[in-house]
């Protein structure tokens, strides 16, 4: 805009409005014609409109470029199971030869890259209900607080020996949620257990990324509002198995990825 204003000033210098007094009359000192003034004003107005229109366009596309609006859709090939997967069905954590997994299988899919941490991390809840953790598998970003309310009519004592987070909430009665909530400040897999109910198992996958999702029973997933660029897509299938796939994301586009 300054360029246009500067140009107009320059042109106006060449055509002063008032004639210069004296006998030195030449083309420079002739009165400024009102018609030319109107033309210049019109030209300035058109340029202004064009520039502001361009600015609007640039501003509108800024979030797309900076924040990213890329999407990844796809399927993780989940391990074969003897159960027929049903939508909305519950699953539990099982340990086979020291490998922890959900049964029936689910995967956690997440995007790895140099992303800024989420500015706001909402607290999450893992309830104890019917002597089980709900949800059984939780994926969170590093720094997330998790509450463990007891909705059974018996005591629980939730603890973890996992290197990513060691804690012991002690025994607490029905209806209670131990305070303060547990902050998961290190990435890794955390196994939740109960000191009173030996069979209870839960998993929390703590991730250094704000972009993750748990697949459905068929292995389908969708990650949206992703930043454009080259990143790594990873699927956590069990405590010993991850599948990787490099991705190149463009703003406004949806990539289709199947793992493996
Ligand atoms: Cu318990």
Helix (H, G, I), strand (E, B) or coil at 150: strand
Question: Buried b / exposed e across 169-186, counting CB within 10 Å, b at 16+?
Answer: beebeeeeebeeebebee
Residues 7 and 82 placed together within one structural domain of the fold? no
Say if residues 160 and 193 touch (Cβ distance below 8 Å): yes
What is the distance in A from the centroid of ligand 1 to the CA of 133? 9
Reply yes or no on whether the pLDDT at 250 is more than 50: yes
Q: Show which of 43, 66, 89 is a domain's final residue.
A: 66
Residues 38 and 136 placed together within one structural domain of the fold? no
Say if residues 41 and 35 touch (Cβ distance below 8 Å): no
- In total, the chain counts a number of residues equal to 260
Residues 62 and 86 placed together within one structural domain of the fold? no
Highest mean pLDDT among 68-72, 80-84, 247-251: 247-251
**Higher local confidence (pLDDT), 232 or 20:** 232
Residues 123 and 21 placed together within one structural domain of the fold? no
Give me the pLDDT at residue 83, please: 58
Digit-coded pLDDT (tens) for 158-174: 999 999 999 999 999 99
Per-residue confidence band for 92, with pLDDT thresholds at 50, 70 and 90: confident
**Higher local confidence (pLDDT), 30 or 246:** 246
Give me the pLDDT at residue 225, please: 95
Per-residue confidence band for 10, with pLDDT thresholds at 50, 70 and 90: very low
Q: What is the CATH number of the domain that holds 108?
A: 2.60.40.420
- Rounded (5°) CA angle 175-177-181: 170
**Higher local confidence (pLDDT), 23 or 169:** 169
* Rounded distance between C-alpha atoms, residue 246 and residue 238, angstroms: 20
Quote the strand ranges of 104-177, DSSP E: 108-112, 124-125, 127-129, 132-134, 137-141, 144-147, 158-162, 165-168
Number of separate domains in the chain = 2
What is the distance in A from the centroid of ligand 1 to the CA of 200? 7
Give me the pLDDT at residue 239, please: 93
Say if residues 145 and 123 touch (Cβ distance below 8 Å): yes
* Rounded distance between C-alpha atoms, residue 141 and residue 117, angstroms: 8
What is the distance in A from the centroid of ligand 1 to the CA of 196? 5
What is the distance in A from the centroid of ligand 1 to the CA of 194? 5
How large is the average pLDDT for residues 28-35? 47
> Which helix or strand (DSSP H or E) is residue 95 part of?
strand 92-96
Per-residue confidence band for 45, with pLDDT thresholds at 50, 70 and 90: low
* Rounded distance between C-alpha atoms, residue 223 and residue 231, angstroms: 13
What is the distance in A from the centroid of ligand 1 to the CA of 101? 20
- With a pLDDT cut of 70, the percent of the chain lying above it is 71
Per-residue confidence band for 95, with pLDDT thresholds at 50, 70 and 90: confident
Residues 55 and 77 placed together within one structural domain of the fold? no
What is the distance in A from the centroid of ligand 1 to the CA of 128? 7
Residue 31, number of CB atoms within 10 A of its CB: 10
* Rounded distance between C-alpha atoms, residue 204 and residue 148, angstroms: 12
User: Closest by alpha carbon to 159, among 195, 134, 127, 186?
Assistant: 195
Give me the pLDDT at residue 89, please: 60
Q: Show which of 39, 66, 93 is a domain's final residue.
A: 66
Residues 188 and 108 placed together within one structural domain of the fold? yes
Residues 103 and 33 placed together within one structural domain of the fold? no
What is the distance in A from the centroid of ligand 1 to the CA of 139? 21
Reply yes or no on whether the pLDDT at 256 is more than 90: yes
> Is the previous residue joined to 135 through a cis bond, with omega within 30 degrees of 0?
yes
Give me the pLDDT at residue 74, please: 97
Q: Show which of 66, 94, 113 is a domain's final residue.
A: 66
What is the distance in A from the centroid of ligand 1 to the CA of 193? 8
What is the distance in A from the centroid of ligand 1 to the CA of 173? 10
Say if residues 122 and 210 touch (Cβ distance below 8 Å): no
End-to-end Cα separation, the chain, in angstroms: 53
Residues 74 and 62 placed together within one structural domain of the fold? no
What is the distance in A from the centroid of ligand 1 to the CA of 140? 22
What is the distance in A from the centroid of ligand 1 to the CA of 89? 22
Give me the pLDDT at residue 87, please: 52
Digit-coded pLDDT (tens) for 179-219: 999 999 999 999 999 999 999 999 999 999 999 999 999 99
Give me the pLDDT at residue 59, please: 44
The whole domain housing 33 covers 2-66
**Higher local confidence (pLDDT), 29 or 202:** 202
């Amino acid at each position: 805009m300054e360029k246009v204003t500067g140009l107009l000033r320059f042109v106006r210098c060449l055509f002063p409005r008032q004639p210069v007094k004296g006998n030195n009359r030449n083309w420079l000192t002739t009165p400024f014609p009102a018609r030319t003034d109107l033309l210049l004003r019109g030209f300035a107005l058109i340029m202004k409109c064009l520039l502001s229109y361009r600015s609007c366009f640039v501003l509108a596309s800024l979030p797309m470029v900076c924040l990213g609006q890329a999407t990844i859709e796809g399927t993780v090939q989940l391990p074969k199971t003897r159960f027929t997967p049903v939508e909305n069905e519950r699953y539990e954590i099982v340990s086979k030869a020291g490998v922890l997994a959900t049964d029936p299988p689910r995967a956690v899919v997440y995007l790895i890259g140099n992303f800024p941490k989420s500015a706001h991390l909402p607290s999450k809840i893992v309830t104890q209900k019917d002597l089980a953790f709900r949800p059984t598998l939780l994926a969170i970003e590093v720094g997330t607080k998790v509450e463990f309310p007891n909705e059974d009519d018996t005591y629980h004592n939730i603890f973890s020996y996992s290197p990513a987070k060691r804690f012991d909430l002690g025994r607490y009665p029905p209806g209670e949620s131990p305070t303060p909530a547990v902050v998961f400040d290190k990435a890794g897999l955390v196994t939740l257990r109960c000191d009173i109910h030996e069979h209870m198992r839960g998993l929390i996958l703590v991730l250094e990324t704000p972009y993750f999702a748990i697949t459905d029973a068929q292995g389908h997933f969708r990650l949206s509002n992703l930043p454009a660029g080259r990143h790594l897509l990873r699927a956590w299938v069990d405590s010993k198995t991850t599948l990787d796939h490099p991705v190149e994301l463009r703003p406004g586009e949806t990539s289709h990825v199947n793992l493996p």
